[in-house]
Amino acid sequence: MKVFISQPMRGIPDEEILIARSDAFALIKSTNPEAELIDSFIVDEISSKHGGLKYLAKAIELLDEADAIWMLKGWENSRGCRIEHDCAKAYGIPVYYLY
């Protein structure tokens, strides 16, 4: 099972993002040892005229590989997370919420 983690990132230090992802994946893995994490944390600098739209496009491209998406705390306040959530729902990808 390939899992995609959606989490707020704007204004959050990379270290905090990576810790939250690691903690979430450890929990997911404890209930599903077969789980594989899709690495959607993009470290490359992508020039974007519209404040990250290319990052979102890349995330949605990666979401296409997912068997499930896990939404982390605060997702509902993040424009990108809400779009990832809506895409998953629209395309039948199971959505789970981790708080």
83 vs 29: CA distance, rounded Å: 25
Phi/psi class of residue 61: alpha, beta or left (left: φ > 0; alpha: ψ in -120 to 50)? alpha
* pTM, full prediction: 0.90
Run of H or E residues at 88: helix 79-90
Residue 89's domain comprises: 2-98
Cα(2)–Cα(11) distance, rounded to whole angstroms? 27
Number of domains in the chain: 1
Amino acid at 71: M
Question: pLDDT tens, position by position, for the chain (99 residues)?
Answer: 999 999 998 889 989 999 999 999 999 999 999 999 999 987 766 566 666 788 899 999 999 999 999 999 999 999 999 999 999 999 999 999 998
Question: What's the CATH code of the domain at 52?
Answer: 3.40.50.10400
